[in-house]
A and B are shown apart, each in its own frame.
Chain A
Amino acid sequence: DAKTTQPNSMESNEEEPVHLPCNHSTISGTDYIHWYRQLPSQGPEYVIHGLTSNVNNRMASLAIAEDRKSSTLILHRATLRDAAVYYCILKSRGGSNYKLTFGKGTLLTVNP
C-alpha cells in the first residue's frame, strides 16, 4: 500500500471545524483515499472515502486535491466524542483481498 503522512496530533475546540490533513504524494490512479478513526479502547470506525471528487456524509467531508497528492478530512463541528486517532489510508480496488495498512494517524484532542 502507498504511504500517507499525517501530523502526529492536532487540537481543536468544541463546536469548531477541524481540518485534518493527509499527504499521499505517491498515490496511484487506482488508490482510494479512506479515513478511519479509533476511539480509545475500541476498534476503528469507518469515516469516509473517495477517489477524485470531494465527498460528504453525515460524519464528515473529504476534500481531495486536484492532483490527488493530498486530502483533508473536515469535521464541521467538533464534539468531545470526536476525540480519537484519525487514520488516512490508501486502498486499491481489485484482487481477492482488501487490506488496510494503518500508519500512526493523527491524535485529535477536542477541548470543551
Chain B
Amino acid sequence: GAVVSQHPSRVICKSGTSVKIECRSLDFQATTMFWYRQFPKQSLMLMATSNEGSKATYEQGVEKDKFLINHASLTLSTLTVTSAHPEDSSFYICSSDGTSGTDTQYFGPGTRLTVL
C-alpha cells in the first residue's frame, strides 16, 4: 500500500510559538491531503482538505488563520499551528487518497504536539 510519513513524530513547544508539521507521500502523488486532529480518548476530527496548488478547504469551526495549510507539491503538505496554546495540544494526523478515484485513504503515523 501507499506510504505517508509525518515529521516530526512528536514536538513540544512553548505557548505562543509556531509549529510546522510536514506530511509526505513517499511512493505516490497526493493530489488531495486531509488533516485531522485527535484529542485523548476521542475520535479523529477532520480539520481541512488541501489540494495541490490551491487553497485549503477548512471544516466549520477550524480557524484558517491559526492552522495554516500549504500543499505546494504533489508529495508534500504542511500544517503550521501559529501562536500555539496549551489547548492546541493534540495528535495531528494527515492522510491522502492518492490520485483521485481511489477508495482507500492512507494515513500518516501522526504527530503528537504538546504546548507548554
Q: In the complex, what residues of B have CB within 8 A of residue A43's CB?
A: 4, 6, 93, 95, 107-110
A87 to B45, CA, bound (A): 13
Partner among A42, A99, A101 whose Cβ is within 8 Å of the Cβ of B109: A42
Q: Is A46 touching B43 in the complex (CB atoms < 8 A)?
A: no
A contact set with B: CB distance below 8 Å:
32, 34, 36, 38, 41-46, 49, 87, 91, 93, 96-105
Q: Is the interface of B mostly helix, strand, loop or mixed?
A: strand
Given contacts A97-B49, A99-B49, contact A46 B44 (CB under 8 A): no
A35 to B78, CA, bound (A): 27
Chain A minimum-CB-distance residue to B57: A97
Minimum Cβ distance to chain B for residue A70 (Å): 20
Extra 12 A-B pairs, beta carbons < 8 Å, given A96-B32, A103-B43: A36-B105, A41-B112, A42-B109, A43-B6, A44-B44, A46-B104, A87-B43, A97-B57, A99-B34, A100-B46, A100-B105, A101-B46
Q: In the complex, what residues of B have CB within 8 A of residue A49's CB?
A: 103-104
Minimum Cβ distance to chain A for residue B83 (Å): 26
